[in-house]
Amino acid sequence: MDADFQSMLISGKVGGIKIFLFDYPNTRHKWLTIYMPVSSLPYYKELINIFEKNGMPINPQVDTYLDGKYEISRIYIYTYPEPYEENQQRKGVFVRYSPYFTAQACIPDIGKIVNDMLMNIKTKDPNQNKIYIKNISDFIERTYWSKIRDDRWRDAEDTGHTRIFAVSRSWLSENERILDYLLHDPSSIYTFITLKEIDDGRTIVPDPNIILSYDWNTKQLEAYDLLNAKIVKYNLSNEDTRISDHPKERLEQFLKNGTAYP
């Protein structure tokens, strides 16, 4: 193990590691996962310095779609210099965001929404009451947990059955009329990027906000702020400048340099 990486582990600069051993008849290799909660992100620069010292130059590549979406299901920061077929999975080092470290903190926010909905049930019919409760449960699962749970994000990274996109402020404005329709597509999760200052402002991290719902009448966008672990609301009619208009650039800046730029 690299001595500098070992030092990072011992000093708690990373959240932990997990090693998977793949032992197939014709090949045998290891898959190393490095966990970095928010508290570890100021030390990400040290980690990429270790990669580069060991012959892996960091060159983040956020996949771009023709319609202006950027896929963040997995973002390669280093790809092995070997040929691969068009549909073959790339080999190298990639990163992904995970709600795992923060999603549990969202329970009070969602719990309040559930309680408010339950308080609005007026019927005294027990059978009708069960139907209302079931409808509320289905709504919460469909609107919130189906997008926030880490198993969806892990599936996006592992299989691509789910795709996670980051979109710009301009994209949201241009697609406002169909946004509610897009959010009901179970195969996609949409996010926008805000910037979070950590380490007393010395590090700026792109923060995905998972878009949960959009109300055309009020122009209100509801999202789950992944790094701050809370539900937030934005008004699209205000062209809120907290929503980045350059998500690809901000992500690639952080992944290459250890900080993004406003």
Residues in the chain: 262
* DSSP label at residue 145: I
d(CA 18, CA 44): 17
pLDDT profile of the chain (262 residues), mean per 10: 88 85 64 87 94 93 94 91 62 87 69 86 84 90 89 90 95 94 94 94 95 92 92 85 94 96 83
How confident is the model at residue 84, as a pLDDT?
58
Strand partners, 71: 63, 165
d(CA 32, CA 199): 27
d(CA 95, CA 101): 15
